[in-house]
Amino acid sequence: MVDIPTASKQLPASTASGSSSAPSAQSDPDRRFVLHADDDIVVVDKPAGLPSVPGRAPGLQDCAVTRVQAEFDDALVVHRLDMATSGLLVFARGLQAQRTLSRAFERREIDKRYEAWVGGVPAPDRGTIDLPLAADWPRRPRQRVDAERGKQACTHWTVLERAVGRCRLGLHPVTGRSHQLRVHLAAIGHPILGDPLYAPPHVQALASRLCLHATRLEMKHPQTGLRVLFVSAPPF
């Protein structure tokens, strides 16, 4: 495996274990946007608040893909992150690379990891959430747990750090449903800090942004077939 440590700056995790307030989630001007580029892929560290693709609303035309295409005009979308989520996002260069990476995502051959600050502290050190998800049509873009019509969704979680009234979790989504991590964590009583859709007001108010970051992306390179690893430290 080719290990590519792509984070422009290794930011320290919060150690405020005795504090009941959330770590400040501010953008860091030292973080690079494009972390890696070659003839087949472009990997970026998307900031929170930037859409992955253009939105319909005014002001949402500036997005990750348009910024990448300004430098790499053959870049194509393979997967997305929520606008409020920061972290690693890969784009394919050309149709062949896009087909190869899209297949890998569909077959769950790409390993994605996240970190999040959540409200409350789980008693066990790790667990698995296996709850089916479906669109909550009357309240779009919200999703909801739906045992009858939902699609299977699975998330593994591990406690990384405990604090007063909150904790940092490492997250491994096996599936990639819309808002999966946000809905799953809220469903087990540990909503993500700063989440305007799924956290109750007192948990939402603990952070100035959604405290969810895509920290790790491991996959086979679409051209060489070698395993490549990209990492990005959370900015919160």
Place of tokens 């491994």: 172
Cα–Cα distance measured from residue 192 to residue 114, given in angstroms and rounded to the nearest whole number: 12
Catalytic residues: 82
